[in-house]
Structure 1
Amino acid sequence: METLAPNIFTRNIQETVALYTLLGFKVAMSVPEQGDELVWVMMVNGGVTIMFQTFDSLEEDLPEISRGNGGSLLLYINLKNIREFFESIKGRVKVLKGLEKTFYGATEFSILDNNNYVLTFAEHE
């Protein structure tokens, strides 16, 4: 195995792209490649790749993918300059837990994305 790139399902892909753009991600690929009605998008920030896809785009092929947004998933993202990053986004996202030093030496904070997934950002100093 070499990498892991989660494919996260969303009901509103435009809102998801907007939020993750705010977090510094850039669209690397999308379906369709142009236009407003995206059904899938790959977003990248440094070494982190996350794909987002609409539930509707797979309802015929994989009807098992039919659940509410969110769930018991937390994405743990390592980065540098966590304090600067936190200050740049804290008033524009839903912060669940502010900056704090953990017992294992990391500085972390957590936010909730528009799909009710928890993103925890960490810097291991």
Structure 2
Amino acid sequence: MDSLAPNIFVQDIDETIQFYKAIGFKVGMSVPEEGDFVWVMMTCGKVSFMFQTLDSLGSELPEISRQNGGSLLLYIQIKEIRQFYEKIKDKVKVIKGLESTFYGATEFSILDNNNYVLTFAENEE
């Protein structure tokens, strides 16, 4: 295996694009290329997320929840976590501030506009 890029289902893709742009992500690909998007891939460094509207699924994959949020936490390793935290803390809903963990990481967690939890971590030495 070489990479993982979760495909996250959302109600409002435009709002999602704006949220992720505010924390440093850029749109890399989209369907369609212009206009009302039903799918986008956003990247920041080596991290990629795909976002797709729930409506675009139609009746395919009925097992996928049609509600925002999920019972998962997206754990993202970054560098210069303290600077990143200062840069975004007033633009997002911080649900757990900067803290040092027993396993040697510095972490903080935010809630995105779709109620998904993103935890950012750095192994500071």
Interval of TM-score (by shorter of Structure 1 and Structure 2): over 0.9
Q: Which residue of 2 aligns with 1:42?
A: 41
Q: Which residue of 1 aligns with 2:118?
A: 119
The answer for unaligned runs of 5 or more in structure 1 is none
1:22 aligns with 2:22: yes
Contact 1:59 1:65 in 2 (8 A): no
Q: Which residue of 2 aligns with 1:80?
A: 79
Amino acid at match of 1:76: Y
User: How far has the Cα of 1:63 moved from its partner?
Assistant: 3.2
Q: Which residue of 2 aligns with 1:62?
A: 61
1:49 is paired with a residue whose SS is: strand
What per-residue deviation string (whole Å, max 9, x for no partner) do you get for residues 9-42 of structure 1? 000001110011111111000011011x110000
Contact 1:13 1:54 in 2 (8 A): yes
Contact 1:55 1:65 in 2 (8 A): no
User: How far has the Cα of 1:67 moved from its partner?
Assistant: 2.4
Map 1:88-107 → 2, pairs under 5 A: 88-107=87-106
Percent of pairs with identical residues: 70
TM-score with structure 1 length normalisation? 0.95
Are residues 66 and 97 of structure 1, via their aligned partners in 2, closer, same or farther at CA, if it must alter by over 3 Å?
closer
Distance in 1 separating the partners of 2:51 and 2:99:
29
User: How far has the Cα of 1:115 moved from its partner?
Assistant: 0.8
What per-residue deviation string (whole Å, max 9, x for no partner) do you get for residues 28-74 of structure 1? 00011011x11000001111010000000012333333421112110
Q: Which residue of 2 aligns with 1:5?
A: 5
Q: Which residue of 2 aligns with 1:52?
A: 51
Aligned residues: CA RMSD = 0.9
2:103 is paired with a residue whose SS is: coil
Stretch of structure 1 that moved more, 65-74 or 2-11: 65-74
Contact 1:58 1:65 in 2 (8 A): no
Distance in 2 separating the partners of 1:66 and 1:108:
28
